[in-house]
């Protein structure tokens, strides 16, 4: 109440910057990189767009009866600068930039950027926690092999992660998958990599509670990394994304699923593919900011 929410520095949720505190428990960091996109570009501007919409976030989370910013020191660590012309170098820069933020196991929330950035994030997480269970919210599998011969794009991060042993095989799940595929083999290859799929159409059949239970059963007691491609939401709720697909989740459904995962040992997370040039009235950014708030709450209050 000392300054209007539209004034001052635009950090996530108006939190202090990394350099403003002596120590911290959770870091929020931007990865403004979108050189791995295959359709609409623009997610490099996602971190600043999400931060802008996060100005309205308040200290008390009534859905989880938690005060995440009181229970832990959360900071905005700014952006990690990465090469926009060389994907391999950019991934190395991202991994190196994340490692000191994770430190001795502190959770980190990544604001993307395109989904390529999930791979170096998982590499950094692996160096501290070892293999993790992945809960991946997306319209797309992101386990394809290559695009135009490129092995690391926003459609390939979880194939590479599985091949590199970054994930606990058999404990990871895609949630919200829908839309057309290249071939039936895409699904078979995905299963061979160790994933299960909770299709978006399953929501009508088993409901939000059923999805939560399937996720909890799948991850077991493994440490968890959550990756949210904003296109898991229907374009009505997230129009500003690179590869929109009709028939997606509502913002309310996704928030409910995240809250149902509040007791999981969440060691890291990302929210990616917010492309603000396609946004209207900050619809997508508001959704992303609120999803980020739930993830930070889980990181500060859940089992770790």
Per-residue pLDDT at 7 exceeds 90: no
Q: Taking the C-alpha atoms of 285, 286, 287 and 288 in order, what is their torsion angle to the nearest 10 degrees?
A: 50
Average pLDDT over residues 102-121: 96
pLDDT digits (tens, 9 = 90+) for 160-175: 999 999 999 899 999 9
Q: What is the DSSP string of the chain?
A: --S-TTSS---GGGPPBGGGSS--SEEEEEE---TT-SS---GGGHHHHHHHHGGG--S-BTTTTB-HHHHS-EEEEEE----SS-HHHHHHHHHHHHHHHHTTT--EEEEESSGGGHHHHHHHHHHHH-SBEEEEE-SS----S-BTTBSSSTTSHHHHHHHTT-B-TTSEEEEEE-S--S-THHHHHHHHTTEEEEETTHHHHHHHHHHHHHHHHHHTTS-EEEEEEGGGB-TTT---SSS--SS-B-HHHHHHHHHHTTTS-EEEEEEE---GGG-STTHHHHHHHHHHHHHHHHHHHS--
More confident residue, 274 or 4: 274
Average pLDDT over residues 189-200: 94
- Residue 3: predicted pLDDT: 82
In a domain, 5, yes or no: no
In a domain, 42, yes or no: yes
In a domain, 4, yes or no: no
- The answer to whether residues 295 and 64 touch, using CB atoms and an 8 Å cutoff, is no
In a domain, 41, yes or no: yes
Average pLDDT over residues 272-285: 97
In a domain, 98, yes or no: yes
Confidence of residue 303 (pLDDT cuts 50, 70, 90): low
pLDDT digits (tens, 9 = 90+) for 137-160: 999 999 999 988 999 999 999 999
Average pLDDT over residues 92-112: 96
- Residue 157: predicted pLDDT: 96
pTM of the model: 0.96
Average pLDDT over residues 113-120: 98
Ramachandran region of residue 229, left (φ > 0), alpha (ψ -120 to 50) or beta? beta
- Residue 8: predicted pLDDT: 84
**What strand order describes the sheet that includes 195-199?**
74-79, 26-31, 108-112, 266-272, 224-229, 133-137, 172-177, 195-199
Share of the chain above pLDDT 90, in %: 94
Mean of the per-residue pLDDT values of the chain: 95
Per-residue pLDDT at 304 exceeds 80: no
In a domain, 6, yes or no: no
Angle subtended at Cα 243 by Cα 242 and Cα 248, rounded to the nearest 5 degrees: 120
Distance CA 299, CA 106 (A): 9
In a domain, 2, yes or no: no
Average pLDDT over residues 65-69: 96
CATH of the domain at 213: 3.40.800.10
- Residue 9: predicted pLDDT: 85
- The answer to whether residues 251 and 181 touch, using CB atoms and an 8 Å cutoff, is no
Average pLDDT over residues 4-25: 93
- Residue 83: predicted pLDDT: 97
Per-residue pLDDT at 58 exceeds 80: yes
Q: Residue 45's domain spans which residues?
A: 12-301
- The answer to whether residues 121 and 144 touch, using CB atoms and an 8 Å cutoff, is no
Q: If we measure between CA atoms, which residue out of 142, 42, 35, 41 comes closest to residue 89?
A: 35
- Within a 13 Å sphere around the CA of 12, how many CA atoms are in the beta-carbon half? 28
| Total domains in the fold of the chain | 1
Taking residue 281's Cβ as centre, other Cβ atoms within 10 Å add up to: 8
- Residue 4: predicted pLDDT: 85
In a domain, 7, yes or no: no
Q: Taking the C-alpha atoms of 190, 196, 199 and 205 in order, what is their torsion angle to the nearest 10 degrees?
A: 150
Per-residue pLDDT at 1 exceeds 80: no
- Residue 82: predicted pLDDT: 95
Average pLDDT over residues 216-222: 95
Average pLDDT over residues 253-261: 98
The separation between the first and the last C-alpha atoms of the chain, rounded to the nearest angstrom, is 33
């Amino acid at each position: 109440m000392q300054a209007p929410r539209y004034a001052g520095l635009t950090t996530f949720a108006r939190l202090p910057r990394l350099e403003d505190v002596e120590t911290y428990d959770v870091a929020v960091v931007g990865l403004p990189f979108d050189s791995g996109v295959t359709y609409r570009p623009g997610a490099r501007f996602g971190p600043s767009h999400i931060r802008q919409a996060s100005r309205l976030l308040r200290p008390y989370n009534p859905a989880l009866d938690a005060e995440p910013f009181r229970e832990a020191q959360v900071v905005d660590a700014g952006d990690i600068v990465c090469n926009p012309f060389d994907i391999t170098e950019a991934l190395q820069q991202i991994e190196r930039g994340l490692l000191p933020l994770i430190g001795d196991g502190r959770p980190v929330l990544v604001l993307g950027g395109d989904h390529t950035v999930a791979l170096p994030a998982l590499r950094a997480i692996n160096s501290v926690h070892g293999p993790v269970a992945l809960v991946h919210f997306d319209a797309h599998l992101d386990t394809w092999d290559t695009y135009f011969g490129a092995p690391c794009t926003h459609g390939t991060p979880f194939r590479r992660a599985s091949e590199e042993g970054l994930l606990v095989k058999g404990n990871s799940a895609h949630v919200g998958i829908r839309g057309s595929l290249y071939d039936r083999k895409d699904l078979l290859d995905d299963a061979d990599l160790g994933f299960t799929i909770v299709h978006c159409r399953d929501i009508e059949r088993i409901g939000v509670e059923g999805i939560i239970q399937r996720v909890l059963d799948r991850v077991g007691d493994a440490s968890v990394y959550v990756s949210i491609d904003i296109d898991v939401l229907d374009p009505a709720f997230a129009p500003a994304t690179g590869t929109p697909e009709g028939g997606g989740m509502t913002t309310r459904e996704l928030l409910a699923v995240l809250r149902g995962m509040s007791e999981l040992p969440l060691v890291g997370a990302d929210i990616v593919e917010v492309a603000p040039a396609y946004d209207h009235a900050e619809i997508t950014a508001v959704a992303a900011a609120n999803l980020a708030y739930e993830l930070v709450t889980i990181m500060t209050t859940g089992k770790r």
